[in-house]
Amino acid sequence: MERKIIELDQGWDYMHKGITKLRRILEGLPEPQFSSEEYMMLYTTIYNMCTQKPPHDFSQQLYDKYREAFEEYITSTVLPSLREKHDEFMLRELVKRWANHKVMVRWLSRFFHYLDRYFIARRSLPALNEVGLTCFRDLVYMEVHEKVRDAVIALIDKEREGEQIDRALLKNVLDIFVEIGMGQMDHYEDDFEGAMLQDTGAYYSRKASSWIEEDSCPDYMLKAKCLKKERDRVSHYLHSSSETKLSEKVQHELLVVYANRLLEKEHSGCRALLRDDKVEDLSRMYRLYCKIPKGLDPVASIFKQHITAEGNALVQQVEDAANSQASSSSGAQEQVLIRKIIELHDKYMAYVTDCFQNHTLFHKALKEAFEVFCNKTVTGSSSAELLATFCDNILKKGGSEKLSDEAIEETLEKVVKLLAYISDKDLFAEFYRKKLARRLLFDRSANDDHERSILTKLKQQCGGQFTSKMEGMVTDLTLARENQASFEDYLRNNAAAHPGIDLTVTVLTTGFWPSYKSFDLNLPAEMVKCVEIFKGFYETKTKHRKLTWIYSLGTCHINGKFDKKNIELIVSTYQAAVLLLFNSSDRLSYSEIMAQLNLTHDDLVRLLHSLSCAKYKILSKETNTKTISQSDYFEFNSKFTDK
């Protein structure tokens, strides 16, 4: 049995009734919901009209009428309702109309579904859903989007001023800008976002221009926390793609435009915050400017200038003190300087780690600042020498720095960090080695562990080459003690070889130690015997090493027989050589002493001055002056007392 033909007018009349019912439901008018029978009848009507044989296949005509149904609804109902409303009321109406329109598209797409499956697919036409949304875009959106944009921006500015607004409404409105693009962001970006960003810039430009005049730097930065509120805005109603653009716009107006004026404010800018140790404000400054390209550059520059000025002031204090006081106290002043520089480094390193979150820019600023004043000459001494002397005071017995073991370790660690800023590290090594030599050779080192510890730290900082000689010196001392023990065994086993004097010899490796002058001193007979005996012992151990005697580093304990009592004198080898001459002569001239000992004029003058003109006058001199002359005569001062 053949199916009855449905004519276009007849079929569309039935469809139009269904569409009218849907419109009444959407408008909230009294209308019962679609029953499943009604729905099926509407669907079947379309199906039948599309599957009739030509010329009764009305697919194209129905496709066109589908669009016309939307256009008629929009022009007769939607646009008039929008045109009579303004501002927030218009926004609410738009949200309602968009929601209704999407429902209408969904229902009509179902009624006309057969078109989507066959007719549209074969002809590559826009799908029903797309046609429905395009109608709204072309007829509604294109007419109202500018008014909508302005109304939304006005509400955003109200919220910025502290007023409560309906955020959910804004979210729904802005979703329309996104959804109308059907997968593209063009409408959101071109029709809303650009103008919103422009308004944001203008808004914060006005705010910043008054804040910069009225507020201190910390107060201004507190107000700049509105950046967070702008990010909050994004999470509540703007599209997530706006976050970076919005932040950059606000940052530019608040922080970039007025960066110099803000940071350089006389009583509250970056310099003042550093001067007054305003750690929280500095941290806030860092957090605000770290997000801006090159934003931290001026902050780091001021940080560097501030530290440089503080360091230079410390150096100047020592210079001024040295010029105004007796020179004897300048050494102590210089040691205080190193301690203060360490404290300065501790303080600003804490700023770098805490306020500036270890940012490389601030590490660099700190380094460059310290390099300025750590390489200055202070009261005629290089910083390399001062640092070596500071270490010496910590490590030697009776040094001026009285510290616990833990504090010593901590201080040594800090000294090595300071060394990183000294350009001539080799000069430091030279001074350090000389002082280390004196500590080791004269038994002045307070603690072997600390000596090794600082060498380990120096090695880590400057490399193995830097410390190899120093490590060699420490090892030499250990070997020298073993060598001395062997020598004592040798003497015990060779009684005939014993010189009758207690003799301790420290054998060192030339390459490790600072260079010392070696003079051909004519030793007294007692000492010559000692030297020969030790040579004999040493040759039993090795034939390939040559011993060079450094008399200037030796000490002697000699017994002085004075009128009142015998006194043990601890003197240098040279002083002992002079004094022993008086065992066989009561009185000797300057030239006789010089000839017998084979010394230079300079050395002999120094030596005789120490024995006859200094605090302890072991020799009496004729003439009785405070200087040594080549015409002077010397005698053993038998009246000397140790009081």
Please provide the DSSP assignment of 544-609 as one string.
S------GGG-EEEEEEE-SS-EEEEEEEHHHHHHHHHTTT-SEEEHHHHHHHHT--HHHHHHHHH
* pLDDT value of residue 536: 86
Q: Using one digit for the tens of pLDDT, what is the confidence trace for 519-577?
A: 788 888 888 888 888 888 888 888 788 888 888 888 999 998 988 888 898 999 999 99
* pLDDT value of residue 2: 61
pLDDT above 60: residue 209: yes
Instruction: Please give, one letter per residue, the 3-state secondary structure of 324-376.
Output: HCCHHHHHHHHHHHHHHHHHHHHHHHHHHHHHCCCCHHHHHHHHHHHHHHCCC
Give the separation between CA 183 and CA 181, rounded to whole angstroms. 6
* pLDDT value of residue 379: 85
pLDDT above 80: residue 237: yes
- Residue pair 220/244 in contact (Cβ under 8 Å)? The answer is no
Q: Using one digit for the tens of pLDDT, what is the confidence trace for 424-442?
A: 999 999 999 999 999 998 8
pLDDT > 90 in the chain, percent: 52
* pLDDT value of residue 169: 96
Q: Using one digit for the tens of pLDDT, what is the confidence trace for 160-173?
A: 999 999 999 999 99
Q: Using one digit for the tens of pLDDT, what is the confidence trace for 29-45?
A: 888 888 889 889 888 88
* pLDDT value of residue 602: 87
Give the separation between CA 401 and CA 415, rounded to whole angstroms. 13
pLDDT band at residue 333, thresholds of 50, 70 and 90? confident
Superfamily of domain 8-173, CATH level 4: Cullin Repeats (1.20.1310.10)
Give the separation between CA 480 and CA 501, rounded to whole angstroms. 19
Q: Using one digit for the tens of pLDDT, what is the confidence trace for 183-196?
A: 899 999 999 999 99
Identical topology for domains 8-173 and 298-465:
yes
* pLDDT value of residue 525: 84
pLDDT band at residue 327, thresholds of 50, 70 and 90? low
Q: What is the CA radius of gyration of the chain?
A: 49
Give the separation between CA 37 and CA 237, rounded to whole angstroms. 42
* pLDDT value of residue 54: 84
Give the separation between CA 60 and CA 440, rounded to whole angstroms. 107
Angle at which helix 142-160 crosses helix 167-179, to 10 degrees, equals 150
pLDDT > 70 in the chain, percent: 98
pLDDT above 80: residue 331: no
> Token pair 């603690």 is at which residue?
447
Give the separation between CA 576 and CA 7, rounded to whole angstroms. 140
- Residue pair 507/541 in contact (Cβ under 8 Å)? The answer is no
- Residue pair 311/372 in contact (Cβ under 8 Å)? The answer is yes
Q: Which of 65-79, 323-337, 475-489 has the lowest mean pLDDT?
A: 323-337
- Residue pair 4/51 in contact (Cβ under 8 Å)? The answer is no
* pLDDT value of residue 498: 78
* pLDDT value of residue 154: 95
Which residues face 207 on adjacent strands?
none
* pLDDT value of residue 398: 75
Tell me the domain boundaries of the chain: 8-173, 298-465, 554-636
Q: Using one digit for the tens of pLDDT, what is the confidence trace for 244-270?
A: 999 999 999 999 999 999 999 988 999
pLDDT band at residue 328, thresholds of 50, 70 and 90? low
Which of 3.40.50.2300, 3.30.460.80, 3.30.300.20, 3.30.230.130 would CATH assign to domain 554-636?
Answer: 3.30.230.130
* pLDDT value of residue 325: 67
Determine if residue 307 is left, alpha or beta; phi over 0 gives left, psi from -120 to 50 gives alpha, anything else beta: alpha
Domain 298-465 has CATH 1.20.1560.10: no
Give me the sign of the Cα torsion angle 246, 250, 251, 252.
positive
* pLDDT value of residue 400: 66
- Residue pair 370/345 in contact (Cβ under 8 Å)? The answer is yes
Instruction: Please give, one letter per residue, the 3-state secondary structure of 95-122.
Output: HHHHHHHHHHHHHHHHHCHHHHHHHHHH
> Of 138-142, 402-406, 473-477, where does the model show the most confidence?
138-142
> Which amino acid is located at 362 in the chain?
F
pLDDT, averaged across the chain:
90
The reported pTM is 0.77
SS3 call for 621: strand
pLDDT above 60: residue 329: no
pLDDT band at residue 616, thresholds of 50, 70 and 90? confident
* pLDDT value of residue 402: 74
Burial class (CB in 10 A: 0-12, 13-18, 19+), 368: middle
Q: What's the chain's length in residues?
A: 643
pLDDT band at residue 5, thresholds of 50, 70 and 90? confident
